[in-house]
Structure 1
Amino acid sequence: MVNNTPRPLPDAPSDTDGVSPEEELTIVSSAFAALGSETRLAIVLRLVRAGHSGIATGELGEAVGVTGSVLTHHLKHLKAAGLIYQEKDGRRIMWFADHDFVGDISHFMVKECCVDDQWVIKNG
């Protein structure tokens, strides 16, 4: 049975307990590097759209137009970066986006918006 509950992310960039700014930058940089491939970005976007239901490996491959060892290669990189995870459901392997982590890396960029903009600083 697939567990549709999002998993906790103790190492996510938003978890600043014990994570230095340099470590946070490394974590986020690795995630963005993994997303540097159109295929990998398509995989993550498809998994984000699937929500907490996830997608079986074969269906995911069909959805993004990549199968077999090429799909496995991309999934390995995304999993290593912490963007996705898998769970066994009987004989199927289900893939999920780590929604919390995807949100964390998005927030990492947005939180810097206009920090050094003098107009914003003066006019609040």
Structure 2
Amino acid sequence: MQWEEAAGGFAAMGSEARLKVLRCLVRAGRDGLRVQDIQTRTGIAPSTLAHHLKFLSGAGVVVQEKVGRATISRADFDRLRSLADFILCECCSDQMQEAANDG
């Protein structure tokens, strides 16, 4: 994952409301939720929710699919794992480097 791509993903999660929506979708699992169900669970107004879902979808952390007349939103778990790996991939590497230099 490149820096720009990671920054876009993290920026999408950079608001309390969008983080709330994403967490709701993570809790729902791979089946996802209809927009109406997300609205009920989060209490976010429909027009505001549409804006947040568009932002999350644009960053690739949420996938939306039209099923009949409903829109199903799902967390993109692979993308979220990639973001987590990006931020954690160098965990403690400075400490290991310092230990190697001291040894």
Shift of 1:35: 0.6
1:64 aligns with 2:39: no
1:58·1:67 contact (CA, 8 Å) conserved in 2?
Answer: no
Q: Name the CA distance, whole Å, in 1 between partners of 2:101 and 2:29.
A: 41
Query: Residue deviations 1:53-97, cap 9 Å, x none?
Result: 110000001111102210011011101100001112221110000
Residue 39 of structure 1 aligns to which amino acid in structure 2?
A
Residue 93 of structure 1, aligned match among 66, 71, 86: 71
Residue 36 of structure 1, aligned match among 14, 19, 25: 14
1:84·1:95 contact (CA, 8 Å) conserved in 2?
Answer: yes
1:116 aligns with 2:97: no
Aligned residue for 2:78, secondary structure, equals helix
1:73 aligns with 2:51: yes
Alignment size in residue pairs: 100
Runs of 4+ in 1 over 2 A off after TM superposition: none
Q: TM-score, normalised by structure 2?
A: 0.90
In structure 2, list runs of 5 or more residues that go unmatched: none
| Corresponding residue for residue 51 of structure 1 | 29
1:84 aligns with 2:62: yes
| Corresponding residue for residue 27 of structure 1 | 5
| Corresponding residue for residue 84 of structure 2 | 106
Residue 91 of structure 2 aligns to which amino acid in structure 1?
C
